[in-house]
Structure 1
Amino acid sequence: MNSRRLLGRRPSTPGRIPGSSSPDRSLPSDLMIQTCRRVGIVSIVFGSIWAFMTVMNNFVIRLISERMDTLYPFPGNLVGGAGVASSVAMVYLARRIGHKPQLLIDLGSGYLVLQCLLISVLTHWIPIPLVPRVSWVCIAILIYPAIVPNTPRKTLVVSLVAASTEPLAMALSMLRGIEFLGGWLYVLWTSVPNFICAFLVVVPVQIIHGLGQQVRRARELGSYRLEEPLGKGGMGEVFRATHQMLARPAAVKLIRPEILGSSSPGAARVIIQRFRREAEAAASLRSPHTISLYDFGVANDGTFFFVMELLDGLDLETLVERFGPLPPERCVHLLRQVCDSLHEAHTRGLVHRDIKPSNIFTCRLGLEVDFVKVLDFGLVKAVDEGGREATLLTAPDSTTGTPAYIAPEMVRGDRVADHRVDIYTLGCVAYWLMTGRLVFQAPNAIQLMYQHANAIPVPPSKLSEFEVPAALDHVILDCLAKFPEERPQSAAELSRRLLAALPELAWTGELAQRWWDRHHPEAARPGQTDSQRILTKTMEAMWEPVETPSPLASMGP
């Protein structure tokens, strides 16, 4: 069977209505952001050169020549100071308005013209002998646009203006009564290289923009245009994207065809099936606490992709790493929302099998905050009515999941794993939220899984910096029971027990709103980029199926 057909149809919606709008000829947004960073870097380099030359001309020239006024005329220090000051101002602007890349690049073009004018004024303040030379203006014209490319048309205009600064400076010197050998003929002859460079620099800029347009076209998947990358792993990437007609932001997960080509047939089958299973599972679930799937399919180049909602918030792993353990009432508030998502999945016969903090996202959604979304259903497994596995997406003699968050029965392999593995791993998540620690610590994955199968966990109340009620302690330890029949038997039951464990404490909407206003305000501060405002983690750094050798197989007979 052709592997391209495994994900079903290609997107049917057109990418753009013909004639509806003119094509966007700017560079892709992530390349624009990189260009903006280079504005600051180039400004630092230019400013450092001005400072170095000013110091050298004031101290070294005095030592080697008495003709200071001729070699370094009067406005030298003023021009050098202006060069340093303008460079410092440009570095400040690069940091201040980096979220407006085109404006910053246009200001950078003005900065280039100013630098060329300063160079020309200093060079032609006093006549120099007729000797062959390369103007510093030529160097600036050639280097700056190639490092910080604007559009080809703007580059040509700005370069011509910059090239004109040298004859302008010479004309000003003539008005001051300075005579140049050769007169206007010398002025014109000296300026020719500048104008040649002004036309030449358009060539690399045109090439850069042509490559940028190729990147933009390559990033168009159906109705969506890929923008800056949000994450990258061993199997694929996640991009921020925008629907070209609805202007709706989204997150697009990709698996490149070369990844499949470089994998073994068995591994490629697992990758394709997991990708398809994640799309099908997310599409079949309607809980508001399960991430929404907009579209999925195969691009023309064989790239597997699916489009998800873009979340504004952070995953629970990052939440605890950044802000520390959470109070019990907030833990219960978040965990019960996860239970809602899992209850629907379990009711439909689906087991997530990879519940962990990095796959649970708390975010802003409309007017609500601390709204939980469960991600990454790529390891989901369907179970038929007889309790048998309907599909198997892992290789023989392997254990699928994350060693720090894995149920004992999946380690032992002594029974068919059912929905109660998610109850166990959610207990591990609760432990992490309350204590900021894993349930067990070990130097390697094998020993860690062995402890999940055999060791007794320390109650979270003994490690948490908050006072954990005994009833809540008991619920979490029940989730971490070694045998499924000793755990809460459903996500709905766990949700009820969590609520009952805190009868008088509650994480109210007012408390949640206060926390989010303080730590993740909806209106971003000036100077923040989109990527800083939207803390999106729609996949981990390495989100491929984790296939860890079974401890029993590794130990041998």
Structure 2
Amino acid sequence: MQDSLPVGTLIDDRYRLVRLLRKGGMGEIYAAEHVHTHRRVAIKVLRSPWSRDPVTRERFKREAQATSQIVHDHIVEMLDFGVTADGACYLVMELLYGEDLQATLLREGRLPLRRAAAIILQICSALAEAHRHGIIHRDLKPGNCFRTGFRGVQDFIKLVDFGIAKRLPRTAEAHHDSHEGAALTTEGTILGTSFYMAPEQSTGGPIDHRIDVYAAGVVLFQLVTGKLPFRGSTPSDTYRLILTAEVPSARKLAPEAELPAAIDELFRKALHKNPDRRFASMDELADAVATVAAQVPKDRLKGESAVLAVQTAAAESRRGLRLVGTVALAAALVTALAIALYFGM
């Protein structure tokens, strides 16, 4: 296995590696600096022999293309893509500081509903924009939702890792996608994570944007209960539960959270095994999340992030406007802020 690149390595005579951020099975992520502009960035380097594998190289290129097409406050900014003289593929992205939601869950266990709702509303907004560009993420999970903060907003979310993103299937493409989707059922690969896969995704069936709706529902379930809705002792057991078991009651799994009664109905719809009976879009899911979160008594809101009030109000009164609303305006004022990167590979 190839060793990590040493600090100081120059990539394409433009980016000097400053620090190793994370080492994965197929490559590494580094903090780096552009040698001319001195801008700090993050570089994701695909290690040999993966850099020479045509399928992996294509997925890497797809990540660059998918992310660069979507300009959104809650999606990591893609800055560059290239191949070094020795054949190593690399992606250059904005540098983020903070942690992913998986780390937050490991530390805190679960989050208050309205705080979790504020996070999910941002994710819904990002995915809605991706879907408008005809791109589905296919690997939404807490580890791919990076949490940072600025100006008192502790939970500003950046959606990362579009490595297995795909164009929404159309006619012949849908048939091709169904075969490729079968590979997503392999637990522990870069192609997906079993706990967040919709039934049609876990069986290799035809997929569309509603698998992202399903995954967002799973993430919200985990945020408010600290538990996954379907988790077997093996990947096979997990897939069986996803395909056959009823959605458990979040209120019963986390009675101490005092969740509103309506939340169980929200999860039954978001995680429905039939995609035709799920929320039809990320915007529709966002409206339902905001409505349920608004039922939390005001005397339980003390100390929660100010962002939830802004985003809940935006979702409730949007009437066709983009959900990001006021938060997008605030984010525009801080674009110069170097934010965090912590990608899964």
Measured against the shorter chain, the TM-score band is: 0.7 to 0.9
Give the partner amino acid of 2:304.
Answer: L
Secondary structure of residue in 2 paired with 1:279: helix
Show the 5 A alignment for 1:250-261.
Answer: 250-261=41-52
Q: Would you say 1:409 and 2:213 are equivalent positions?
A: no
Residue equivalent to 2:277: 486
For 2:223, which of 433, 442, 449 is the aligned residue? 433
CA change 1:388–1:259 in 2 (3 A) is: closer
Distance in 2 (CA, whole Å) between partners of 1:393 and 1:376 is 21
Query: Is contact 1:381–1:390 with CA below 8 Å preserved after alignment?
Result: no
Query: Is contact 1:388–1:416 with CA below 8 Å preserved after alignment?
Result: no
Show the 5 A alignment for 1:125-204.
Answer: none
Distance in 2 (CA, whole Å) between partners of 1:373 and 1:283 is 14
Deviation at 1:397, TM superposition (A): 4.9
Query: Is contact 1:279–1:293 with CA below 8 Å preserved after alignment?
Result: yes
Distance in 1 (CA, whole Å) between partners of 2:302 and 2:137 is 29
CA change 1:222–1:436 in 2 (3 A) is: farther
Secondary structure of residue in 2 paired with 1:228: strand
Pick the structure with more helix per residue.
1
Q: Would you say 1:294 and 2:79 are equivalent positions?
A: yes
CA change 1:508–1:404 in 2 (3 A) is: same
Show the 5 A alignment for 1:93-112.
Answer: none
Deviation at 1:338, TM superposition (A): 0.2
Show the 5 A alignment for 1:110-129.
Answer: none
List per-residue Cα deviations over 1:180-225 (Å, max 9, x = no partner): xxxxxxxxxxxxxxxxxxxxxxxxxxxxxxxxxx945534444221
Q: Would you say 1:452 and 2:245 are equivalent positions?
A: no
For 1:512, which of 305, 308, 316 is the aligned residue? 305
Residue equivalent to 2:333: none
Q: Which entry has the higher C-alpha Rg, 1 or 2?
A: 1
CA change 1:509–1:222 in 2 (3 A) is: farther
List per-residue Cα deviations over 1:63-106 (Å, max 9, x = no partner): xxxxxxxxxxxxxxxxxxxxxxxxxxxxxxxxxxxxxxxxxxxx
Secondary structure of residue in 2 paired with 1:416: coil
Query: Is contact 1:379–1:393 with CA below 8 Å preserved after alignment?
Result: no
Distance in 1 (CA, whole Å) between partners of 2:181 and 2:285 is 32
Query: Is contact 1:314–1:535 with CA below 8 Å preserved after alignment?
Result: no
Residue equivalent to 1:463: 253
Distance in 1 (CA, whole Å) between partners of 2:277 and 2:295 is 27
Residue equivalent to 1:278: 63
Deviation at 1:495, TM superposition (A): 0.7
Structure 2 residue runs without a partner (length 5+): 185-190, 308-337
For 1:381, which of 166, 178, 183 is the aligned residue? 166
Distance in 2 (CA, whole Å) between partners of 1:242 and 1:365 is 22
Distance in 1 (CA, whole Å) between partners of 2:151 and 2:226 is 29
Give the % identical residues: 33
CA change 1:245–1:396 in 2 (3 A) is: closer
Distance in 1 (CA, whole Å) between partners of 2:209 and 2:181 is 21
Deviation at 1:369, TM superposition (A): 3.2
Distance in 2 (CA, whole Å) between partners of 1:418 and 1:425 is 12
Q: Would you say 1:229 and 2:20 are equivalent positions?
A: yes
Distance in 1 (CA, whole Å) between partners of 2:172 and 2:270 is 21
For 1:249, which of 14, 25, 40 is the aligned residue? 40
Distance in 1 (CA, whole Å) between partners of 2:302 and 2:157 is 14
Show the 5 A alignment for 1:3-152.
Answer: none
Query: Is contact 2:119–2:155 with CA below 8 Å preserved after alignment?
Result: yes
List per-residue Cα deviations over 1:340-371 (Å, max 9, x = no partner): 01101111111111011100111125664311
List per-residue Cα deviations over 1:424-453 (Å, max 9, x = no partner): 111111111111111122121111111111
Give the partner amino acid of 1:416.
Answer: P
Distance in 1 (CA, whole Å) between partners of 2:302 and 2:134 is 33
Instruction: Identify which of structures 1 and 2 has the higher relative contact order when contacts are C-alpha pairs closer than 8 Å and 6+ apart.
Output: 2
Give the partner amino acid of 2:343.
Answer: M
Deviation at 1:459, TM superposition (A): 1.2
Residue equivalent to 1:314: 99
Secondary structure of residue in 2 paired with 1:234: coil
CA change 1:269–1:346 in 2 (3 A) is: same
Residue equivalent to 1:538: 342
Distance in 2 (CA, whole Å) between partners of 1:373 and 1:455 is 32
Deviation at 1:303, TM superposition (A): 1.2
Q: Considering only aligned residues, what root-mean-square deviation do their CA atoms show, in Å?
A: 2.9
Secondary structure of residue in 2 paired with 1:246: coil
Deviation at 1:257, TM superposition (A): 3.3
Deviation at 1:536, TM superposition (A): 5.1
Query: Is contact 1:274–1:393 with CA below 8 Å preserved after alignment?
Result: no
Query: Is contact 1:382–1:389 with CA below 8 Å preserved after alignment?
Result: no
Distance in 1 (CA, whole Å) between partners of 2:7 and 2:100 is 29
Query: Is contact 1:312–1:363 with CA below 8 Å preserved after alignment?
Result: yes
Deviation at 1:249, TM superposition (A): 1.8
Deviation at 1:384, TM superposition (A): 4.7
Distance in 1 (CA, whole Å) between partners of 2:265 and 2:237 is 26
Deviation at 1:539, TM superposition (A): 1.8
Distance in 1 (CA, whole Å) between partners of 2:91 and 2:178 is 19
Residue equivalent to 1:476: 267
Distance in 2 (CA, whole Å) between partners of 1:458 and 1:249 is 45
Give the partner amino acid of 1:482.
Answer: K
